[in-house]
Amino acid sequence: MIKPVPTIKLLSMSFILSISISCSDNQAPSVRDFEQKASLQIKLLATSLKKQLIASMQLGGPVAAIETCKIKAPEITNHLNSSDTLKIKRTSLRLRNPNNSADDWEQQVLTNFEQQFSSGTPIQELVYSEKITKGDQTTLRMMRAIPMQAVCLTCHGDRQTMSEGVIHSLQKDYPNDLATEFSIGDIRGAFSVSQTFSN
Ligand code: HEC
C-alpha cells in the first residue's frame, strides 16, 4: 500500500524546490556571459545618447543641447536601469555632473586605463571586468573607456575655442565642471556596468 505523503512534507518540498529554482535563476553568470550582456547595454546607451545629442545640436544648437544633455542623459540612463538588475552609468576622473562620480573601484580602473593608454594601448581595447564576491553577494562589474570625438569638443574641448554661450551655460549648470580641455582621442571617461547576485 502507498503511504500518503503528509501535506506539510509536500509543502516543504515545494518550498525547497521553489527556493532552489529561484536561486538558480539569480545565480551569477560567467564573466564572459556578463561581458556580452554588459557590452550590449553599453552599445544601447552610447547609441541613444549620441542620437539624442546630434538631434538636439542640429535642432537648437549647442546651448540648447546642453539642456538636453542635462535632462535627457540621466533620464535615458535611469530608464535603462529601471527594467533590469544590470545597472549602467557613465563616469570620469574629470567630472561635469557630480552625480556621475566614480566609486573607489571605478577610480582605480579609470586610473589603470590612463596608465595603459599612455603606454600605448589603443583606447578601443580599454575594457576591464571583474567578479567580486563579498559575504553572500557576488557583483560582476565591467568598464569600457569612452573616447573623445570631434562632436564632443563643442562642450568638452579647449575653453579658448568654445563658444561664449556654451561656456556661460556650463558655468551656470555645472559650477564645478572639470570636463573641458579634452582633445580628440583622449579618454573622456568610461561606461560602468554592474550586476549583483546573492550567493
Ligand atoms: C552640447 C554639449 C555636450 C556635448 C556636445 C557633449 N557633451 Fe558630454 N556632457 C554634457 C553635459 C551637460 C553633461 C552632464 C550631464 C550628464 O550627462 O550627466 C555631460 C556629461 C558627459 C559624461 C558623464 C561624465 C561627467 O563628466 O559628468 C560623459 C562621459 C560625456 N559627457 C561624454 C561625452 C562624449 C564622449 C561626447 C561626444 C560624443 C560628449 N560628451 C558631447 C554636454 C555635452
pLDDT value, residue 5: 52
* Cα end-to-end distance, the chain, whole Å: 42
Task: Supply angle C-alpha 110, 115, 119, rounded to 5.
Answer: 145
Report residue 3's pLDDT band, with 50, 70 and 90 as the boundaries.
Answer: low
- Nearest atom, ligand 1, residue 98 CA: 27
- Nearest atom, ligand 1, residue 65 CA: 1
Spacing, Cα 69 to ligand 1 middle (Å): 7
Residue 20 has pLDDT above 50, yes or no: no
Q: In sequence order, what are the residues at sequence separation of 6 or more whose Cβ sits closer than 8 angstroms to the Cβ of residue 173? A: 66, 70
Per the rule left: phi > 0, alpha: psi between -120 and 50, beta: everything else, 33 is: alpha
Q: Rounded mean pLDDT of 94-115?
A: 98
| Ligand 1 contact via 72 beta carbon (within 6 Å) | no
How confident is the prediction for the chain on average, in pLDDT?
90
CB 87 within 8 A of CB 81: yes
Residue 146 has pLDDT above 50, yes or no: yes
CB 36 within 8 A of CB 140: no
Euclidean distance between CA atoms 94 and 76, whole angstroms: 22
Kindly report, residue by residue over 31-69, the tens digit of the pLDDT: 999 999 999 999 999 999 999 999 999 999 999 999 989
| Ligand 1 contact via 69 beta carbon (within 6 Å) | yes
| Nearest-CA residue for atom 15 of ligand 1 | 70
Kindly report, residue by residue over 76-88, the tens digit of the pLDDT: 999 999 989 999 9
Nearest-Å Rg of the Cα atoms of the chain is: 22
- Nearest atom, ligand 1, residue 73 CA: 17
Cell 544601447 appears where?
44
Q: Percentage of the chain with pLDDT > 90?
A: 83
| Ligand 1 contact via 73 beta carbon (within 6 Å) | yes
Spacing, Cα 13 to ligand 1 middle (Å): 53
Q: Rounded mean pLDDT of 4-21?
A: 47
| Nearest-CA residue for atom 32 of ligand 1 | 188
The closest of 161, 183, 187 to 62, measured between CA atoms, is: 161
| Ligand 1 contact via 169 beta carbon (within 6 Å) | no
Euclidean distance between CA atoms 199 and 183, whole angstroms: 44
Residue 8 has pLDDT above 80, yes or no: no
pLDDT value, residue 1: 53
| Ligand 1 contact via 88 beta carbon (within 6 Å) | no
CB 106 within 8 A of CB 99: no
Kindly report, residue by residue over 158-188, the tens digit of the pLDDT: 999 999 999 999 999 999 999 999 999 999 9
> How many Cβ atoms from other residues are within 10 Å of residue 178's Cβ?
12
User: C-alpha grid cell for residue 53?
Assistant: 545629442
Spacing, Cα 17 to ligand 1 middle (Å): 48
